Amino acid sequence: MLRQVCTALLAVLVVGGCSGGSDGSDGSSSPTQSSAPAGTASASPFPAATTPRPVVPAAPRRTACYRLAPWQLTRPTNGSEPVPCDSPHTARTIHVGTLDTVVNGHSVAVDSAHVQRQLATTCPRELAAFVGGSARTRDLSRFAVVWFSPTLAQADRGADWFRCDLVAFSGERSLLRLPRETPGVRGVLDRPGALDTYGLCGTAAPGAKGFERVICGRPHSWEAFDTISLPGGRRYPGADALRDAGDEKCKSRAAARAEDALKFRYGWEWPTRGQWGTGRRFGYCWVPAT
């Protein structure tokens, strides 16, 4: 009999715990618990975590100057800090453009062949516009243009710029300190006698012992006075073919400017295989400096 009473009591307790109760309450949770209407989410006491948008790296200034070293010129990117243009500097930004990274509706990387062709086309054109002169005087000068694009990490954060920098070689492996803004080098090759300062000269005859290319503003004994265009496609024609292609023309041009057309010296220099590969299709005609 006692066992039956205990069993019945246990059943009552279980049923009471599962029902809404018989004390007139509405079945709501205890005050220590939060509740929300059906179909709604309860408010969180903590703010939702948000992912900050990456900061797009700023584009370089269009008139910035830099102290670059020769080894930096062959790098695709450059993180050097600009310096005041009235202080010593070896590079000057002459153009900042926007990368074309979409081909047939698809994005391409900043180091893709498509982007590199854009830079290799745009920056030489900007150099010509900046320093002036003809194609011949630019080829005879020691001015050059280099270009830099964002790093892959910067491109991933939205950077889409490139910059073209003007430099001038003082020697084989040294850069010239560019002049300050007044008068500067803008339009410099349109000025008379510009090649006397910025042209290509040599410390000896081309190919001779001790020969080094130097800018004509430095001591020299030979000078490149003309260029000769060379025929050929993408394949390198070979040294013998290039020597024959330009030697007679160079000799004739050197004779025309010599005091004695029967007794003079000249030097014909054709492009190497590596230079041909970069698109150079001309050689230099040299004479002793006067």
Percentage of the chain with pLDDT > 90? Answer: 69
Span 116-156, pLDDT tens digits: 999 999 999 999 999 999 999 999 999 999 999 999 999 99
Digit-coded pLDDT (tens) for 224-261: 999 999 999 999 999 999 999 999 999 999 999 999 98
* pLDDT range class, residue 279, cuts 50, 70, 90: very high
pLDDT(20) > 60: no
Report CA Rg, the chain.
37
pLDDT of residue 22: 39
Pairing status of strand 222-229 against strand 161-171: unpaired
Question: What does the alpha-carbon distance between residue 118 and residue 71 come to, in Å, rounded to a whole number?
Answer: 23
Residue 27 pLDDT greater than 50, yes or no:
no
Q: CA–CA distance from 33 to each of 23, 28, 30, 41 (Å)?
A: 20, 10, 6, 15
Q: Evaluate if residue 165 carries a pLDDT over 90.
A: yes
Q: Is residue 37 scored above 60 in pLDDT?
A: no
Q: Using one digit for the tens of pLDDT, what is the confidence trace for 200-233?
A: 999 999 999 999 999 999 999 999 999 999 999 9
**What tens digit of pLDDT does each residue of 67-104 get?**
999 999 999 999 999 999 999 999 999 999 999 988 88
Could you tell me the pTM of the whole model?
A: 0.79
Q: What is the mean pLDDT of residues 20-49?
A: 44
- Quick: pLDDT tens for 99-121: 998 888 888 888 898 999 999 99
Interacting residues of 171 by C-beta distance below 8 A, sequence separation 6+: 212, 213, 214, 215, 218
pLDDT level of residue 40 (50, 70, 90 thresholds):
very low
Helices marked H in the chain: 2-18, 113-131, 135-140, 152-156, 194-198, 239-257, 273-277
